Structure 1
Amino acid sequence: MENSNLWYLLSYVKGVKIPMETSMGVLEVVEQIRQLKQSDNPLNKKKLKQSHPELVQNALFYFPTWEHALQNSGN
């Protein structure tokens, strides 16, 4: 069995999280959230998952919830 299939199987059966590589650092995530806030963009997770999926994915890597990411960005 290939490693990727093994990871998938483990994550499905045991709830093991598959390691994720991030494309943004935590400071970049915080800064992008601040910029969106200053531009009066809606900050709800559902809309941002469509318009800024990479930002949401990286934010959830560093913070337990989207609300935590907003709070830590001064929002």
Structure 2
Amino acid sequence: SSVELTQHFIRRIEKLDAKLNSLITINSDLALQRAAEADRQLAKGEANPLCGVPYIHKDIFCTQGIRTSCASRMLHDFIAP
């Protein structure tokens, strides 16, 4: 399921990212909520081909309500409206 796949990658991030330091903001709760919604859409047959596939995007794209710093000290606390 999408939830299981998302949980797998969250565990990998928790295990490896302290050493890799590749992610600035991690929102596991939102990822799991969206995965559950994807599973519901898949069950209803209303999903597009990539529905439920977890992905990460760079910290240069504004996402409503999520801190977007662009790895810049000047934008350290910027939260996209």
State the TM-score, normalized to the length of structure 2.
0.30
Could you say which structure has the higher helix fraction? 1
Q: Which fold has the larger relative contact order, with Cα–Cα distance below 8 Å and residues 6 or more apart in sequence?
A: 1
